[in-house]
Structure 1
Amino acid sequence: MSDKKPNPVINAVSNVVAALRADDDQIAVAKAHESLEPEAIEKLTPEEARRQPTVADAVKKLLEQQNRSAVPEALVPGVTTRELTVDGATGPLAATLYTPAGQGPFPVVLYFHGGGWVIANRQVYDGGARGLAAAAQAMVLSVDYRLAPEHKFPAAWDDALAAYRWLIEHAASFGGDASRLALAGESAGGNLAVATAIAARDAGLRAPRHVLSVYPVTQTSRNTESYLENAIAKPLNRAMMDWFFTHVTRGEQDLDDPRLSLVDAPLAGLAPVTIVNARLDPLRSDGARLESALIDAGVEVARKEFEGVAHEFFGAAAVLEKARDAQAFAGERLRRSFAP
């Protein structure tokens, strides 16, 4: 066996635990992913890790097994896309604009993908961004920020704020309503969404109407209840989070920065926040801790925890019932904030 493959004993235990705790459709996604023979991210170089099969690949394979179309436009009818270039902190960033059916101008959600700030891109997270455009009846602008370790902390955070500045200035040019903006993201992107809201407040920029943070990274300890409970979970485990933090930070001091440790940031004055968590996820406690910190800061927040599903579930609405529920929940919260 390759030394880059998951440990067979730990892998077997993880599968047994998942069979007891996960929904049937979540188990089907996990089996499809495992059939693609992913290597252990924490044993790879960043370049190797970026070539690994993703949960999005597993969804596509599962749809094919079910004799269903995997074409994104068929999965989320009515949402169209176009490619844009957005100004980042040091240069242009590639972006995809998702537009729902209907008559604009539309509210606009700036969306940040996951991947631990090291792997993945906006294409991998198409399912979440596309589904949210339909659920929120809003344009969604999904941006590729710079990745570590080539661009270490705080490059991604600087790009996220620069992209928000660009959106404020240019939303009207593509049919967006610059008075109705929101920030959203998954995992590492969920962190970026909240961090950008804080940075925008501190810079005196127009505030977003809402912040959607899906299973975000909000602190840097790997000894929370959910990290210990889901230490060998799939598709995200504790060892992978160690790997991500090692590659994104310049040193131990970065782990205490409030852009990474959001629970220690000044949160007062932020727009309403929605947090989505999965039960079978090392980052579940991160979401709960952020919820508590926001309440203490007087920020309106709603957090919903979805049983029987794992990290990365949000974008898999084509095959996961709880993902459809989560997107509907997030969409309703956004629509409420966008209302006059």
Structure 2
Amino acid sequence: MLGLKKAVGMSVLALGMLGLSGTALAKDAAAAAQVAPQMQVILEAHKSLKPVLPHTVSPKEARKGVTAADAVKKTLKDQGKPVAPKAVAKVEDKELKGPAGDIPVRVYTPEGVGPFPVVVHFHGGGFVLADLGTHDASARALANQAKAVVVRVEYRHAQKNPYPAAADATAAFQYVQKNAKEFNGDGSKVAAAGESAGAHLATVVSMRQKQGGGALPVYQLLVYPFVSNDVSTPSHQANGQGNYLGKDWAKNKDPNALPLNASKAQLSSLPPAMVLTAELDPLKDESQQYAKNLKAAGVKVDVKNYAGVTHEFFGMAPVLDVAKTAQADAGMALRKAFKAAPAAQTGVGGSGMTEPEPAKE
């Protein structure tokens, strides 16, 4: 597994955890473990689009690069299938007040009559890449599977805005929790969710709400969360000066930046969680260790690992059966959490207008 982690790590972690690397990932992962046939097709589609390695260009240029969603669309076209996204009742863009200006959000409303439970979702992209347009498939799936309004949150990107700039996430969560009616949502049933860097933000929201005495999310959906800076691949080190944690990224021990460093006391009483991992993902080990840490702190955690797939697989359901299963698992967990949530919560901490202070050890 170490060889696979190194091979995939050079392709994923060093590139802001974008997910698909093309040649290196498809070749090296196949040599080290069994890649699901459908996953291999997507990898080849990604390779055919001739992606530029993000760490070889500026962040601005990297954000214009080939994404996992592009690979899925290419696969659908190659298979003669429609590329239209899964339907939801409504999608609309809004802006919320945040600590450094307005925070863009995209709101997905499912079919039915509200008020609905709410999932506040944070996209991946290594804190550098991706935006409200890149994880559309995940948001639509969660809206339909969880029967919830999904509020996807944009946040300030590194390298221009290093830690703790993405505390936009906490401000956005607090706003949605207080003003759920604006979204046809139920403020007593708000979950935090994310993928990769976004899963990091989702769990940090929970930690910061606890620190500030605010109402916690009713659930954490953490899809291959980034929770540690224990990365030794050469390309990640070469790009370390430009990452979210700043120039001293390797020395950072703040649990609000790296949740794997959180103590048992800091993790205790956090909301129940589901942690989803991919077999061929360099984040698998740290994600599963974080789940163990949560369990050791008394948090109820459901951990599911999906064989034969890579980072970014969660949004690939149109062409990847394993992703359909993962989305269904996530939806069921969220529905159960919403059903079990108390009828009302009070005491949301903070105004949503200032960044919380890092936890003190």
TM-score (norm 2): 0.83
In structure 2, do the counterparts of structure 1 residues 321 and 217 end up closer, same or farther at CA, with 3 Å as the change threshold? same
Whether 1:95 and 2:92 are equivalent positions in the alignment is no
Deviations 1:109-167 (A, max 9, x none): 000000000011121011111111111111100011010111111101x1001001111
The one-letter amino acid paired with 2:201 is L
User: Which residue of structure 2 lines up, in the alignment, with residue 33 of structure 1?
Assistant: 46
Whether 1:162 and 2:159 are equivalent positions in the alignment is no
Task: Return the offset for 1:83.
Answer: 1.2
Of 242, 252, 255, which residue of structure 1 is paired with 2:252? 255
Q: CA RMSD in A?
A: 1.9
In structure 2, do the counterparts of structure 1 residues 30 and 11 end up closer, same or farther at CA, with 3 Å as the change threshold? closer
User: Which residue of structure 2 lines up, in the alignment, with residue 196 of structure 1?
Assistant: 205
Task: Return the offset for 1:241.
Answer: 8.1
Question: Percent identity, aligned pairs only?
Answer: 37
The one-letter amino acid paired with 1:258 is P
Task: Return the offset for 1:16.
Answer: 3.0
User: Which is further off, 246-255 or 95-104?
Assistant: 246-255
8 Å contact from structure 1 (residues 88, 160) kept in 2? no
Task: Return the offset for 1:19.
Answer: 3.6
Task: Return the offset for 1:309.
Answer: 0.3
The one-letter amino acid paired with 2:80 is N
Q: Distance in 2 between matches of 1:80 and 1:28?
A: 32
User: Which residue of structure 2 lines up, in the alignment, with residue 234 of structure 1?
Assistant: none
Q: Give matches, 1:102-251, under 5 Å.
A: 102-156=112-166, 158-222=167-231, 239-240=235-236, 243=239, 246-251=242-247
Q: Distance in 2 between matches of 1:174 and 1:11?
A: 39
Q: Distance in 2 between matches of 1:133 and 1:267?
A: 28
Instruction: Please identify runs of 4+ aligned residues in structure 1 that moved more than 6 A.
Output: none
8 Å contact from structure 1 (residues 184, 190) kept in 2? yes
Deviations 1:207-253 (A, max 9, x none): 11100010010111015xxxxxxx7xxxxxx7358636742123326
Deviations 1:19-72 (A, max 9, x none): 452111101111111111011122222112111110111111111112222111
Count of equivalent residues = 315
8 Å contact from structure 1 (residues 117, 244) kept in 2? no
User: Which residue of structure 2 lines up, in the alignment, with residue 43 of structure 1?
Assistant: 56
User: Which residue of structure 2 lines up, in the alignment, with residue 284 of structure 1?
Assistant: 284
Q: Distance in 2 between matches of 1:112 and 1:133?
A: 14
DSSP 3-state at the match of 1:81: strand
TM-score (norm 1): 0.88
